[in-house]
Structure 1
Amino acid sequence: MEDFKEYLESIDEISHRDRMEEILAWVSEVYPELSKRIAWNQPMFTHHGTYIIGFSHSKNHIAMSPEVKPIQKFKALIEEVNLSHTENIIRIKWEDPIPYDLIRTLIDYNIEDKEGYTKFWR
Protein backbone atom coordinates (compact mmCIF):
# COMPACT_ATOMS: atom_id res chain seq x y z
CA MET A 1 0.00 0.00 0.00
CA GLU A 2 3.02 2.24 -0.34
CA ASP A 3 1.45 3.92 -3.38
CA PHE A 4 -1.52 5.00 -1.27
CA LYS A 5 0.22 5.50 2.08
CA GLU A 6 0.02 9.31 2.17
CA TYR A 7 -3.63 9.28 1.11
CA LEU A 8 -4.55 6.69 3.74
CA GLU A 9 -2.70 8.60 6.44
CA SER A 10 -4.83 11.66 5.62
CA ILE A 11 -7.97 9.81 6.81
CA ASP A 12 -8.35 10.76 10.47
CA GLU A 13 -10.94 8.16 11.48
CA ILE A 14 -8.96 4.95 11.98
CA SER A 15 -11.87 2.62 11.17
CA HIS A 16 -12.46 4.51 7.90
CA ARG A 17 -8.77 4.36 7.06
CA ASP A 18 -8.71 0.60 7.71
CA ARG A 19 -11.80 0.08 5.57
CA MET A 20 -10.37 2.07 2.68
CA GLU A 21 -7.07 0.23 2.96
CA GLU A 22 -8.92 -3.10 2.90
CA ILE A 23 -10.61 -2.24 -0.40
CA LEU A 24 -7.45 -0.87 -2.00
CA ALA A 25 -5.44 -3.92 -0.88
CA TRP A 26 -8.10 -6.26 -2.26
CA VAL A 27 -8.08 -4.57 -5.67
CA SER A 28 -4.26 -4.61 -5.67
CA GLU A 29 -4.17 -8.32 -4.83
CA VAL A 30 -6.90 -9.47 -7.22
CA TYR A 31 -5.74 -7.22 -10.07
CA PRO A 32 -1.94 -7.02 -9.86
CA GLU A 33 -1.83 -5.94 -13.52
CA LEU A 34 -3.48 -2.61 -12.66
CA SER A 35 -1.30 0.42 -12.02
CA LYS A 36 -1.89 2.50 -8.90
CA ARG A 37 -1.84 6.27 -8.66
CA ILE A 38 -3.27 9.23 -6.80
CA ALA A 39 -4.96 11.85 -8.97
CA TRP A 40 -7.75 14.30 -8.29
CA ASN A 41 -7.12 13.51 -4.61
CA GLN A 42 -8.23 9.90 -4.90
CA PRO A 43 -6.57 6.52 -5.17
CA MET A 44 -7.20 5.04 -8.58
CA PHE A 45 -6.30 2.08 -10.69
CA THR A 46 -5.43 2.24 -14.38
CA HIS A 47 -4.73 -0.30 -17.10
CA HIS A 48 -2.45 0.53 -20.01
CA GLY A 49 -2.85 4.21 -19.18
CA THR A 50 -6.64 4.28 -19.07
CA TYR A 51 -8.77 4.79 -15.97
CA ILE A 52 -10.44 1.70 -14.53
CA ILE A 53 -11.74 2.64 -11.05
CA GLY A 54 -11.14 5.10 -8.22
CA PHE A 55 -12.12 5.35 -4.58
CA SER A 56 -12.35 8.28 -2.20
CA HIS A 57 -13.58 8.84 1.32
CA SER A 58 -16.09 11.25 2.76
CA LYS A 59 -17.66 11.65 6.17
CA ASN A 60 -20.47 9.17 5.47
CA HIS A 61 -19.20 6.81 2.81
CA ILE A 62 -16.58 5.57 0.39
CA ALA A 63 -17.21 6.86 -3.11
CA MET A 64 -16.44 4.28 -5.77
CA SER A 65 -16.03 5.77 -9.23
CA PRO A 66 -15.99 3.36 -12.18
CA GLU A 67 -17.16 6.07 -14.68
CA VAL A 68 -20.68 6.69 -15.96
CA LYS A 69 -21.00 3.84 -18.49
CA PRO A 70 -20.56 0.94 -16.00
CA ILE A 71 -22.88 2.61 -13.49
CA GLN A 72 -25.56 2.82 -16.16
CA LYS A 73 -24.93 -0.75 -17.35
CA PHE A 74 -25.00 -2.27 -13.84
CA LYS A 75 -27.56 0.04 -12.24
CA ALA A 76 -29.87 -2.85 -11.30
CA LEU A 77 -26.99 -4.77 -9.69
CA ILE A 78 -25.88 -1.67 -7.75
CA GLU A 79 -29.41 -1.18 -6.45
CA GLU A 80 -29.78 -4.91 -5.74
CA VAL A 81 -26.95 -4.66 -3.18
CA ASN A 82 -28.66 -1.59 -1.67
CA LEU A 83 -26.08 1.00 -2.64
CA SER A 84 -27.01 4.54 -3.56
CA HIS A 85 -25.40 6.14 -6.57
CA THR A 86 -25.27 9.16 -8.80
CA GLU A 87 -24.32 9.23 -12.45
CA ASN A 88 -20.62 9.29 -11.43
CA ILE A 89 -20.22 7.52 -8.08
CA ILE A 90 -21.48 4.60 -6.03
CA ARG A 91 -21.67 5.16 -2.27
CA ILE A 92 -20.54 2.44 0.14
CA LYS A 93 -21.56 3.52 3.63
CA TRP A 94 -18.92 2.88 6.25
CA GLU A 95 -21.11 0.31 8.01
CA ASP A 96 -22.14 -1.53 4.80
CA PRO A 97 -20.45 -4.78 3.79
CA ILE A 98 -17.88 -4.28 1.05
CA PRO A 99 -19.51 -5.40 -2.22
CA TYR A 100 -16.54 -7.31 -3.62
CA ASP A 101 -18.60 -9.08 -6.29
CA LEU A 102 -19.85 -5.73 -7.57
CA ILE A 103 -16.35 -4.24 -7.51
CA ARG A 104 -15.07 -7.23 -9.48
CA THR A 105 -17.90 -6.88 -12.02
CA LEU A 106 -17.16 -3.18 -12.54
CA ILE A 107 -13.40 -3.66 -12.86
CA ASP A 108 -13.73 -6.66 -15.19
CA TYR A 109 -16.17 -4.72 -17.36
CA ASN A 110 -13.90 -1.67 -17.58
CA ILE A 111 -10.82 -3.74 -18.40
CA GLU A 112 -12.66 -5.54 -21.19
CA ASP A 113 -14.63 -2.55 -22.48
CA LYS A 114 -11.58 -0.26 -22.56
CA GLU A 115 -9.25 -2.79 -24.22
CA GLY A 116 -7.14 -0.84 -26.69
CA TYR A 117 -8.57 2.46 -25.46
CA THR A 118 -5.98 5.23 -25.72
CA LYS A 119 -7.55 8.02 -23.64
CA PHE A 120 -7.62 8.25 -19.85
CA TRP A 121 -11.38 8.88 -19.49
CA ARG A 122 -14.24 7.67 -21.68
Structure 2
Amino acid sequence: DIEVATDLVRKMVCKWGMSDLGPWNLGVAEDEIFLGKDLVRHNNYSERTAQRIDDTISEFIRNGYETASKILDENREKFIKLAETLYEKEVLTADEVEEIVKGKKPVRDTDGESTTEEA
Protein backbone atom coordinates (compact mmCIF):
# COMPACT_ATOMS: atom_id res chain seq x y z
CA ASP A 1 0.00 0.00 0.00
CA ILE A 2 1.00 3.62 -0.30
CA GLU A 3 1.95 3.94 3.39
CA VAL A 4 4.43 1.05 3.14
CA ALA A 5 5.83 2.39 -0.14
CA THR A 6 6.31 5.86 1.33
CA ASP A 7 8.00 4.47 4.44
CA LEU A 8 10.35 2.37 2.29
CA VAL A 9 11.25 5.32 0.05
CA ARG A 10 11.82 7.55 3.10
CA LYS A 11 14.28 4.94 4.44
CA MET A 12 15.97 4.74 1.02
CA VAL A 13 16.45 8.51 0.95
CA CYS A 14 17.06 9.34 4.63
CA LYS A 15 18.59 6.23 6.16
CA TRP A 16 20.36 4.34 3.39
CA GLY A 17 21.58 7.26 1.25
CA MET A 18 20.02 5.91 -1.94
CA SER A 19 19.35 9.25 -3.64
CA ASP A 20 21.04 12.28 -5.14
CA LEU A 21 21.03 13.88 -1.69
CA GLY A 22 24.10 11.85 -0.87
CA PRO A 23 25.28 8.80 1.02
CA TRP A 24 24.61 9.99 4.54
CA ASN A 25 22.00 9.31 7.15
CA LEU A 26 19.41 12.10 7.22
CA GLY A 27 17.63 10.59 10.16
CA VAL A 28 16.40 11.88 13.46
CA ALA A 29 19.11 12.99 15.87
CA GLU A 30 17.19 11.97 18.98
CA ASP A 31 13.83 10.85 20.24
CA GLU A 32 12.65 12.18 23.57
CA ILE A 33 9.56 11.26 25.54
CA PHE A 34 8.17 13.76 27.99
CA LEU A 35 5.64 12.78 30.59
CA GLY A 36 2.17 13.30 29.17
CA LYS A 37 3.43 14.18 25.70
CA ASP A 38 3.99 12.33 22.48
CA LEU A 39 7.35 11.43 21.08
CA VAL A 40 9.25 14.60 20.18
CA ARG A 41 11.62 14.42 17.24
CA HIS A 42 14.45 16.77 16.45
CA ASN A 43 15.74 16.75 12.88
CA ASN A 44 19.47 16.94 12.32
CA TYR A 45 19.05 18.79 9.02
CA SER A 46 17.83 22.16 7.78
CA GLU A 47 14.38 23.13 6.56
CA ARG A 48 15.82 23.39 3.03
CA THR A 49 17.13 19.83 3.26
CA ALA A 50 13.75 18.68 4.60
CA GLN A 51 12.12 20.17 1.48
CA ARG A 52 14.65 18.39 -0.75
CA ILE A 53 13.92 15.13 1.07
CA ASP A 54 10.17 15.58 0.54
CA ASP A 55 10.70 16.42 -3.15
CA THR A 56 12.94 13.38 -3.65
CA ILE A 57 10.46 11.05 -1.91
CA SER A 58 7.63 12.47 -4.01
CA GLU A 59 9.63 11.90 -7.20
CA PHE A 60 10.45 8.29 -6.23
CA ILE A 61 6.78 7.55 -5.45
CA ARG A 62 5.52 9.24 -8.63
CA ASN A 63 8.05 7.37 -10.82
CA GLY A 64 7.16 4.06 -9.16
CA TYR A 65 3.46 4.68 -9.70
CA GLU A 66 4.00 5.56 -13.36
CA THR A 67 6.16 2.45 -13.91
CA ALA A 68 3.59 0.19 -12.23
CA SER A 69 0.75 1.73 -14.25
CA LYS A 70 2.69 1.21 -17.48
CA ILE A 71 3.38 -2.45 -16.63
CA LEU A 72 -0.29 -3.04 -15.80
CA ASP A 73 -1.46 -1.32 -18.99
CA GLU A 74 0.99 -3.25 -21.18
CA ASN A 75 -0.07 -6.57 -19.66
CA ARG A 76 -3.78 -5.89 -19.21
CA GLU A 77 -4.94 -8.84 -21.34
CA LYS A 78 -2.69 -11.25 -19.42
CA PHE A 79 -4.07 -10.01 -16.09
CA ILE A 80 -7.64 -10.36 -17.35
CA LYS A 81 -6.99 -13.91 -18.59
CA LEU A 82 -5.28 -14.77 -15.31
CA ALA A 83 -8.21 -13.38 -13.29
CA GLU A 84 -10.78 -15.23 -15.43
CA THR A 85 -8.91 -18.52 -15.10
CA LEU A 86 -8.44 -18.05 -11.36
CA TYR A 87 -12.16 -17.28 -10.99
CA GLU A 88 -13.00 -20.43 -12.97
CA LYS A 89 -10.56 -22.83 -11.26
CA GLU A 90 -10.16 -21.07 -7.88
CA VAL A 91 -6.63 -22.47 -7.46
CA LEU A 92 -3.71 -22.23 -9.88
CA THR A 93 -0.24 -23.69 -9.64
CA ALA A 94 2.84 -21.60 -10.38
CA ASP A 95 3.25 -23.53 -13.65
CA GLU A 96 -0.33 -22.71 -14.66
CA VAL A 97 0.18 -19.01 -13.95
CA GLU A 98 3.36 -19.06 -16.03
CA GLU A 99 1.58 -20.75 -18.93
CA ILE A 100 -1.29 -18.25 -18.84
CA VAL A 101 1.18 -15.36 -18.91
CA LYS A 102 2.89 -17.00 -21.91
CA GLY A 103 -0.47 -17.13 -23.72
CA LYS A 104 -1.17 -20.84 -23.30
CA LYS A 105 -4.23 -22.32 -21.64
CA PRO A 106 -3.48 -24.64 -18.71
CA VAL A 107 -5.40 -27.91 -18.71
CA ARG A 108 -5.38 -30.40 -15.85
CA ASP A 109 -5.39 -34.06 -16.76
CA THR A 110 -7.31 -36.72 -14.81
CA ASP A 111 -4.46 -37.07 -12.29
CA GLY A 112 -4.66 -33.37 -11.49
CA GLU A 113 -1.37 -32.72 -13.28
CA SER A 114 -1.10 -29.52 -15.26
CA THR A 115 -0.61 -29.68 -19.02
CA THR A 116 -1.01 -26.90 -21.56
CA GLU A 117 -2.67 -26.26 -24.87
CA GLU A 118 -2.46 -23.22 -27.12
CA ALA A 119 -4.94 -20.52 -26.10
Q: TM-score, normalised by structure 2?
A: 0.28
- Structure label with greater radius of gyration: 2
Bigger relative CO (Cα 8 Å, ≥ 6 apart): 1
Which structure's residues are more often strand, by fraction? 1
Which structure's residues are more often helix, by fraction? 2
